[in-house]
């Protein structure tokens, strides 16, 4: 070996390189980079032998093993002397580290001592996970989520250790999951409904239908919904001193509940449409409504106060559809009732037929009942406006398409900021004040927000439609090219 190469690893006092330990560490890294030994260990300053950190020991071992591989003609003592001069430590430190860690200098990897095996258990693959393991991790998380099992970094760590015998630190797994787009958050079951195909189809159909109806200037859009308000409802935020604990006093429990129903347009509340009363049900406020009560509300309050033909938008609550109670319902009918219904319609039956077979035959001839609310809206519409009103039902789990939800939120905020925790004050004072503060400008803004949501749904539908058409056209073009090339080959 010539003198020129000798300068690359010898670190004598006569060299022009500085003698500070930090500069020596940088010099080591430059030397390893020049010889194409890439070690991601960070900057450090060499210390005394008894105070070496794990990173420093790891770098010294790498330097020694790489030096032995490059200069195999040199003996061990010469190698240890040169590495000691290069790292700026003593010969005994190199000797002690080599003996303690049982260094196998014929390969690039060193065997750890039993003393530090558990301490440095995850030294392999410590900084990143290979791309090969990322797809199995995705499938593992999806399988656990579909079964309803929460997944943590410990579960993924055990999975990699059991299947691939790969030991990875939890922080490395967390960093890899963030790169893959995962997030460790609270489980929200509502998010699942956003990607259900049947609900997406219903949402698209609703948005297409309401956009067509909005083009007709004869109709106005009316949004109807129900809500509730507890006696002890109040705002969750208030000013307090940072240094002292909060002295905010509030009654325990939620207290009795008010049930509210109302309807809005872009111009504000429908006249006399807001009705509220104290609830009798203890669990779900929807139990305060039934088909008969809602039918009376529509017949006596809402429909007579509509001054022009309207499209009444509401959710899919069961009491929003009033069917004829005398109409035959095959879903609740037993086997004998299904048989008698089919015999009345002169359908030939076999003796050994299950209820499932009878249901399939019944649905072929059964006519679904009419919604009596639609008939009522049409009749009253003609009586008052010379044109019938229409009912339009929202798709399930899409509250953002009903702007009255934001109206209820503002109403509860106004009441909560001024609550006295007395039902009489809420009914006589606070709730009427909140209703009057929700004016036409606010109703116009929330209705415009619902229109933006509808436009976004239609834009997404248009993008998917264009992408599918583009794929079909590409397939057709490729088929034409293939047919032309086959014809040329046949002619040849």
pTM here?
0.63
pLDDT surpasses 50 at 125: no
- In terms of DSSP H, where are the helices of 418-492? 423-425, 431-437, 440-491
Tens-digit pLDDT profile for residues 235-277: 888 888 887 787 788 888 888 899 999 999 999 999 999 999 9
Higher-confidence residue of 79 and 40: namely 79
Across residues 126-143, what is the average pLDDT? Answer: 80
pLDDT surpasses 50 at 18: no
Residue 282 CB contacts under 8 Å (≥ 6 apart), including other chains:
none
Of the candidates 370, 100, 426, 376, the residue with the CA atom closest to the CA atom of residue 254: 426
Residue length of the chain: 492
Q: Specify the pLDDT at position 427.
A: 92
257-265 and 268-269 strand pairing:
antiparallel
Confidence of residue 443 (pLDDT cuts 50, 70, 90): very high
- CATH code at 198-327+370-454: 3.30.420.10
Confidence of residue 39 (pLDDT cuts 50, 70, 90): very low
Cα separation of 200 and 349, whole Å? 40
Residue pair 325/295 in contact (Cβ under 8 Å)? The answer is no
Cα separation of 391 and 272, whole Å? 20
Higher-confidence residue of 322 and 56: namely 322
pLDDT surpasses 70 at 106: no
Across residues 306-315, what is the average pLDDT? Answer: 92
Higher-confidence residue of 360 and 188: namely 360
Torsions phi, psi of 285, nearest 5? -70, -20
Residue 61 CB contacts under 8 Å (≥ 6 apart), including other chains:
97, 101, 103, 110
Q: Specify the pLDDT at position 102.
A: 62
Cβ neighbours around 104 below 10 Å, total: 12
Q: Specify the pLDDT at position 51.
A: 65
Of 140-149, 350-359, 382-391, 480-489, minimum mean pLDDT range: 480-489
Q: How far is CA 488 from the centre of its chain?
A: 53
pLDDT surpasses 60 at 126: no
Cα separation of 361 and 127, whole Å? 65
Q: Specify the pLDDT at position 315.
A: 93
Q: Specify the pLDDT at position 197.
A: 84
Q: Specify the pLDDT at position 80.
A: 84
**E-assigned strands of 181-230?**
220-230
Cα separation of 14 and 169, whole Å? 44
Confidence of residue 46 (pLDDT cuts 50, 70, 90): very low
Mean pLDDT of the chain: 78
Residue 165 CB contacts under 8 Å (≥ 6 apart), including other chains:
none
Query: Helix, strand or coil for residue 158?
Result: helix
Residue 293 CB contacts under 8 Å (≥ 6 apart), including other chains:
319
pLDDT surpasses 90 at 128: no
Q: Specify the pLDDT at position 271.
A: 92
pLDDT surpasses 90 at 288: no
Cα separation of 45 and 26, whole Å? 9
Residue pair 62/33 in contact (Cβ under 8 Å)? The answer is no
Residue 358 CB contacts under 8 Å (≥ 6 apart), including other chains:
335, 338, 339, 342, 349
Domain edges within the chain: 3-100, 131-187, 198-327+370-454, 328-368
Across residues 302-316, what is the average pLDDT? Answer: 92
Tens-digit pLDDT profile for residues 382-391: 877 778 899 9
Residue 95 CB contacts under 8 Å (≥ 6 apart), including other chains:
80
Name beta bridge partners: 262: 225
Residue pair 392/213 in contact (Cβ under 8 Å)? The answer is yes
Confidence of residue 168 (pLDDT cuts 50, 70, 90): confident
pLDDT surpasses 70 at 405: yes
């Amino acid at each position: 070996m010539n003198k020129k190469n000798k300068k690359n690893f010898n670190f004598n006092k006569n060299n022009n390189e500085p003698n500070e330990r930090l500069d020596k560490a940088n010099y080591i890294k430059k030397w390893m980079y020049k010889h194409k030994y890439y070690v991601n260990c960070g900057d450090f300053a060499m210390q005394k032998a008894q105070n070496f950190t794990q990173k420093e020991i790891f770098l010294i071992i790498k330097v020694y093993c790489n030096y032995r591989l490059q200069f195999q003609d040199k003996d061990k003592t010469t190698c240890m002397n040169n590495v000691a001069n290069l790292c700026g430590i003593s010969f005994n430190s190199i000797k002690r580290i080599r003996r303690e860690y049982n260094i196998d200098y014929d390969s690039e990897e060193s065997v750890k001592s039993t003393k530090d095996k558990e301490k440095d258990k995850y030294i392999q693959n410590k900084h990143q996970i290979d791309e090969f393991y990322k797809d199995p991790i995705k499938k593992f998380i999806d399988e656990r989520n579909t079964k309803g099992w929460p997944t943590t970094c410990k579960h993924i760590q055990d999975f990699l250790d059991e299947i691939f015998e790969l030991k990875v630190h939890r922080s490395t797994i967390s960093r890899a999951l963030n790169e893959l787009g995962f997030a460790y958050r609270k489980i929200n079951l509502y998010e699942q409904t956003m990607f259900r195909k049947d609900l997406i189809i219903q949402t698209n159909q609703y948005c297409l239908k309401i956009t067509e109806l909005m083009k007709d200037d004869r109709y106005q859009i009316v949004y109807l919904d129900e809500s509730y308000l507890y006696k002890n409802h109040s705002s969750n935020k208030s000013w307090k001193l940072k240094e002292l604990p909060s002295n905010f006093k509030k009654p325990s429990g939620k207290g009795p509940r008010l049930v509210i129903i109302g309807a809005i347009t872009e111009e504000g509340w429908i006249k006399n449409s807001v009705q509220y009363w104290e609830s009798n049900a203890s669990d779900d406020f929807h139990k305060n409504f039934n088909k008969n009560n809602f039918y009376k509300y529509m017949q006596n309050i809402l429909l007579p106060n509509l001054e022009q033909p309207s499209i009444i938008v509401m959710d899919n609550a069961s009491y929003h559809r009033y069917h004829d109670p005398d109409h035959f319902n095959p879903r609740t009918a037993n086997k004998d009732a299904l048989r008698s219904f089919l015999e009345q319609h002169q359908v030939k039956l076999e003796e050994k037929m299950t209820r499932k077979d009878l249901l399939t035959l019944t649905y072929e001839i059964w006519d679904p009942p009419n919604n009596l609310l639609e008939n009522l809206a049409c009749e009253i519409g003609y009586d008052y406006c010379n044109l019938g009103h229409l009912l339009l039902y929202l798709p399930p789990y899409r509250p953002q398409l009903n702007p009255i939800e934001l109206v209820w939120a503002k109403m509860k905020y106004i009441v909560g900021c001024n609550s006295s925790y007395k039902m009489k004050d809420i009914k006589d004072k606070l709730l009427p004040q909140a209703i009057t503060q929700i004016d036409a400008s606010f109703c116009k803004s929330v209705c415009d927000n619902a229109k933006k949501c509808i436009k976004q749904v239609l834009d997404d539908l248009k993008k998917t439609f264009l992408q599918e058409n583009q794929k079909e056209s590409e397939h057709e073009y490729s088929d034409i090219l293939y047919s032309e090339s086959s014809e040329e080959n046949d002619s040849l």
